[in-house]
Amino acid sequence: MDKKLGTLYIVSTPIGNLSDITYRAIETLESVNIIAAEDTRKSRILLSHYNVKTRTISYFEHNKFQKIDKIKQVLKKGDSVALITDAGTPGISDPAYKLIRKAIEIGCKVESIPGPSAVIASLVSSGLPTDRFIFEGFLPPKKGRKRRMESLKEETATIVIYENVNRLQRTIKQLLDIMGDRPAVICRELTKLHEETIRGTLSSLLNLLNDRKLKGECVLLIGKDDKNVYFE
Protein backbone atom coordinates (compact mmCIF):
# COMPACT_ATOMS: atom_id res chain seq x y z
CA MET A 1 0.00 0.00 0.00
CA ASP A 2 1.28 3.46 -0.89
CA LYS A 3 2.47 5.02 2.37
CA LYS A 4 1.70 8.49 1.03
CA LEU A 5 -2.02 7.83 0.96
CA GLY A 6 -4.16 9.02 3.83
CA THR A 7 -6.50 6.87 5.91
CA LEU A 8 -10.28 7.03 5.80
CA TYR A 9 -11.72 6.52 9.28
CA ILE A 10 -15.35 5.42 9.59
CA VAL A 11 -16.31 6.98 12.91
CA SER A 12 -19.50 6.03 14.75
CA THR A 13 -21.20 8.84 16.64
CA PRO A 14 -24.09 8.93 19.16
CA ILE A 15 -27.63 8.16 18.00
CA GLY A 16 -29.12 10.48 20.60
CA ASN A 17 -27.25 10.74 23.87
CA LEU A 18 -24.04 12.73 23.31
CA SER A 19 -22.30 10.73 26.05
CA ASP A 20 -22.42 7.61 23.91
CA ILE A 21 -19.16 8.24 22.09
CA THR A 22 -15.85 6.46 22.62
CA TYR A 23 -12.57 8.04 23.66
CA ARG A 24 -11.05 6.63 20.49
CA ALA A 25 -13.70 8.33 18.35
CA ILE A 26 -12.95 11.73 19.92
CA GLU A 27 -9.20 11.19 19.51
CA THR A 28 -9.70 10.31 15.85
CA LEU A 29 -11.91 13.32 15.15
CA GLU A 30 -9.30 15.58 16.74
CA SER A 31 -6.33 14.06 14.89
CA VAL A 32 -7.57 13.84 11.29
CA ASN A 33 -7.10 16.61 8.74
CA ILE A 34 -10.75 16.78 7.66
CA ILE A 35 -14.10 15.52 8.93
CA ALA A 36 -16.57 14.61 6.18
CA ALA A 37 -20.04 14.96 7.71
CA GLU A 38 -23.44 14.02 6.36
CA ASP A 39 -24.76 17.37 7.62
CA THR A 40 -22.21 19.79 9.06
CA ARG A 41 -24.91 21.73 10.94
CA LYS A 42 -26.00 18.67 12.90
CA SER A 43 -22.47 17.40 13.40
CA ARG A 44 -21.38 20.76 14.77
CA ILE A 45 -23.51 20.14 17.88
CA LEU A 46 -21.48 17.03 18.71
CA LEU A 47 -18.13 18.52 17.71
CA SER A 48 -18.72 21.70 19.72
CA HIS A 49 -19.77 19.65 22.74
CA TYR A 50 -16.38 17.93 22.75
CA ASN A 51 -14.46 21.01 21.57
CA VAL A 52 -13.32 19.33 18.35
CA LYS A 53 -12.06 22.05 16.02
CA THR A 54 -11.14 19.96 12.97
CA ARG A 55 -12.28 21.40 9.64
CA THR A 56 -15.51 19.85 8.32
CA ILE A 57 -16.98 19.46 4.86
CA SER A 58 -20.47 18.33 3.94
CA TYR A 59 -21.00 14.92 2.43
CA PHE A 60 -24.59 13.89 1.84
CA GLU A 61 -26.81 12.10 -0.71
CA HIS A 62 -27.35 15.02 -3.08
CA ASN A 63 -23.75 16.20 -3.35
CA LYS A 64 -21.75 13.01 -2.71
CA PHE A 65 -20.52 12.68 -6.30
CA GLN A 66 -19.15 16.23 -6.22
CA LYS A 67 -17.46 15.68 -2.87
CA ILE A 68 -16.00 12.23 -3.62
CA ASP A 69 -13.35 13.68 -5.92
CA LYS A 70 -12.44 16.39 -3.42
CA ILE A 71 -12.08 13.89 -0.56
CA LYS A 72 -10.17 11.52 -2.85
CA GLN A 73 -7.62 14.25 -3.52
CA VAL A 74 -7.25 14.89 0.21
CA LEU A 75 -6.52 11.18 0.78
CA LYS A 76 -4.08 11.08 -2.15
CA LYS A 77 -2.12 13.95 -0.55
CA GLY A 78 -1.59 11.74 2.48
CA ASP A 79 -4.10 13.56 4.69
CA SER A 80 -6.51 11.58 6.84
CA VAL A 81 -10.30 11.92 6.73
CA ALA A 82 -12.93 10.97 9.33
CA LEU A 83 -16.33 10.12 7.92
CA ILE A 84 -19.31 10.67 10.21
CA THR A 85 -23.06 10.52 9.76
CA ASP A 86 -25.80 12.48 11.51
CA ALA A 87 -26.19 9.65 14.03
CA GLY A 88 -24.76 6.17 14.40
CA THR A 89 -22.43 4.30 12.08
CA PRO A 90 -21.62 5.68 8.61
CA GLY A 91 -22.63 3.38 5.78
CA ILE A 92 -25.71 2.05 7.57
CA SER A 93 -28.68 3.52 5.67
CA ASP A 94 -26.68 6.57 4.64
CA PRO A 95 -24.61 7.60 1.58
CA ALA A 96 -21.13 6.73 2.92
CA TYR A 97 -20.81 3.55 0.85
CA LYS A 98 -19.68 5.30 -2.34
CA LEU A 99 -16.87 7.17 -0.61
CA ILE A 100 -15.67 4.05 1.18
CA ARG A 101 -15.52 2.19 -2.14
CA LYS A 102 -13.60 5.02 -3.77
CA ALA A 103 -11.06 5.05 -0.94
CA ILE A 104 -10.56 1.32 -1.37
CA GLU A 105 -10.18 1.70 -5.14
CA ILE A 106 -7.32 4.18 -4.82
CA GLY A 107 -5.57 2.00 -2.26
CA CYS A 108 -6.31 3.86 0.97
CA LYS A 109 -6.52 2.18 4.30
CA VAL A 110 -10.11 2.18 5.60
CA GLU A 111 -10.43 1.84 9.35
CA SER A 112 -13.64 1.50 11.37
CA ILE A 113 -13.96 3.23 14.74
CA PRO A 114 -16.92 1.26 16.13
CA GLY A 115 -19.65 2.64 18.31
CA PRO A 116 -23.41 3.31 18.44
CA SER A 117 -25.82 1.83 15.91
CA ALA A 118 -29.61 1.85 16.16
CA VAL A 119 -29.74 -1.60 14.54
CA ILE A 120 -27.82 -3.28 17.36
CA ALA A 121 -29.22 -1.11 20.16
CA SER A 122 -32.80 -1.95 19.19
CA LEU A 123 -32.10 -5.63 18.54
CA VAL A 124 -30.49 -6.40 21.89
CA SER A 125 -33.15 -4.54 23.88
CA SER A 126 -36.13 -5.88 21.93
CA GLY A 127 -36.29 -9.31 23.55
CA LEU A 128 -36.51 -10.97 20.13
CA PRO A 129 -33.97 -13.66 19.08
CA THR A 130 -30.53 -12.25 18.33
CA ASP A 131 -28.79 -15.36 16.99
CA ARG A 132 -29.85 -14.46 13.45
CA PHE A 133 -31.19 -11.18 12.12
CA ILE A 134 -31.52 -9.30 8.85
CA PHE A 135 -31.44 -5.55 8.44
CA GLU A 136 -33.78 -4.15 5.80
CA GLY A 137 -33.00 -0.48 6.32
CA PHE A 138 -35.81 1.73 5.03
CA LEU A 139 -38.40 -0.09 2.93
CA PRO A 140 -39.14 1.49 -0.47
CA PRO A 141 -41.83 4.16 0.01
CA LYS A 142 -43.61 3.19 -3.23
CA LYS A 143 -42.07 1.17 -6.08
CA GLY A 144 -41.01 -2.32 -5.01
CA ARG A 145 -42.46 -1.92 -1.51
CA LYS A 146 -44.94 -4.81 -1.64
CA ARG A 147 -42.43 -7.08 -3.35
CA ARG A 148 -39.87 -6.42 -0.64
CA MET A 149 -42.40 -7.22 2.08
CA GLU A 150 -43.46 -10.41 0.35
CA SER A 151 -39.83 -11.53 0.23
CA LEU A 152 -39.81 -11.42 4.04
CA LYS A 153 -42.88 -13.61 4.51
CA GLU A 154 -40.98 -16.86 5.12
CA GLU A 155 -38.06 -15.25 6.95
CA THR A 156 -37.30 -16.85 10.33
CA ALA A 157 -34.51 -14.50 11.40
CA THR A 158 -35.44 -11.38 13.36
CA ILE A 159 -36.16 -8.55 10.90
CA VAL A 160 -34.99 -5.01 11.66
CA ILE A 161 -36.54 -2.12 9.74
CA TYR A 162 -35.99 1.63 9.95
CA GLU A 163 -39.24 3.50 9.39
CA ASN A 164 -40.42 7.07 9.28
CA VAL A 165 -42.87 7.57 12.13
CA ASN A 166 -45.46 8.98 9.69
CA ARG A 167 -45.40 5.73 7.68
CA LEU A 168 -45.14 3.34 10.62
CA GLN A 169 -48.85 2.57 10.94
CA ARG A 170 -49.18 1.91 7.20
CA THR A 171 -46.08 -0.30 7.24
CA ILE A 172 -47.31 -2.44 10.13
CA LYS A 173 -50.71 -2.89 8.51
CA GLN A 174 -49.15 -3.99 5.22
CA LEU A 175 -46.77 -6.39 6.97
CA LEU A 176 -49.66 -7.85 8.97
CA ASP A 177 -51.67 -8.40 5.79
CA ILE A 178 -48.73 -10.07 4.02
CA MET A 179 -46.99 -11.98 6.82
CA GLY A 180 -49.79 -12.63 9.26
CA ASP A 181 -49.43 -11.87 12.94
CA ARG A 182 -45.90 -12.02 14.35
CA PRO A 183 -44.12 -10.98 17.54
CA ALA A 184 -43.07 -7.37 16.99
CA VAL A 185 -41.37 -4.48 18.76
CA ILE A 186 -41.17 -0.73 18.22
CA CYS A 187 -38.07 0.98 19.62
CA ARG A 188 -38.59 4.71 19.69
CA GLU A 189 -36.16 7.58 20.39
CA LEU A 190 -33.30 5.24 21.34
CA THR A 191 -30.90 6.67 23.98
CA LYS A 192 -32.90 9.91 24.14
CA LEU A 193 -34.96 11.39 26.98
CA HIS A 194 -38.23 9.86 25.79
CA GLU A 195 -36.85 6.45 24.81
CA GLU A 196 -39.57 3.80 24.66
CA THR A 197 -39.78 0.11 23.77
CA ILE A 198 -43.22 -1.26 22.88
CA ARG A 199 -43.45 -5.06 22.69
CA GLY A 200 -46.35 -7.12 21.37
CA THR A 201 -47.48 -8.39 17.99
CA LEU A 202 -48.03 -6.70 14.65
CA SER A 203 -51.77 -6.64 15.38
CA SER A 204 -51.40 -5.20 18.90
CA LEU A 205 -48.98 -2.54 17.67
CA LEU A 206 -51.42 -1.61 14.92
CA ASN A 207 -54.22 -1.28 17.47
CA LEU A 208 -52.00 0.94 19.59
CA LEU A 209 -51.18 3.19 16.64
CA ASN A 210 -54.87 3.53 15.84
CA ASP A 211 -55.28 5.24 19.23
CA ARG A 212 -51.92 6.92 19.68
CA LYS A 213 -49.66 9.01 17.46
CA LEU A 214 -45.99 8.35 18.08
CA LYS A 215 -43.26 10.92 17.61
CA GLY A 216 -39.55 10.64 16.98
CA GLU A 217 -37.33 8.09 15.26
CA CYS A 218 -38.49 4.48 15.23
CA VAL A 219 -37.07 1.03 14.59
CA LEU A 220 -39.50 -1.81 13.89
CA LEU A 221 -38.45 -5.37 14.69
CA ILE A 222 -40.34 -8.52 13.74
CA GLY A 223 -39.74 -11.99 15.17
CA LYS A 224 -40.49 -15.41 13.75
CA ASP A 225 -43.87 -17.07 14.18
CA ASP A 226 -42.84 -19.32 17.05
CA LYS A 227 -44.72 -19.79 20.32
CA ASN A 228 -41.48 -19.36 22.26
CA VAL A 229 -40.85 -15.94 20.71
CA TYR A 230 -44.21 -14.29 21.43
CA PHE A 231 -44.41 -11.99 24.45
CA GLU A 232 -46.80 -13.04 27.22
Model pLDDT, residue 3: 62
Q: Locate CATH 3.30.950.10 in the chain.
A: 118-222
Residues 105/178, Cβ–Cβ less than 8 Å: no
CATH of 7-113, one of 3.30.420.40, 3.40.50.300, 3.40.1010.10, 3.30.70.20: 3.40.1010.10
pLDDT means per 10 residues in the chain (232 residues)? Answer: 82 96 98 93 95 91 71 94 95 87 94 97 98 96 93 97 95 97 98 96 97 94 97 90
CATH of 118-222, one of 3.30.950.10, 3.20.20.70, 3.40.30.10, 3.10.580.10: 3.30.950.10
Q: Tell me if 116 sits within 8 A of 141, measured CB to CB.
A: no
Name the residue among 128, 116, 110, 111 with its Cα closest to residue 85.
Answer: 116
Confidence (pLDDT) at 68: 84
Three-class secondary structure of residue 196 per DSSP = strand
At 103 the pLDDT is 94
What pLDDT, on the 0 to 100 scale, is given for residue 27? 98
User: What pLDDT is stored for residue 169 in this prediction?
Assistant: 97
Cite the residue boundaries of each domain of the chain with CATH code 3.40.1010.10.
7-113
pLDDT of residue 1: 46
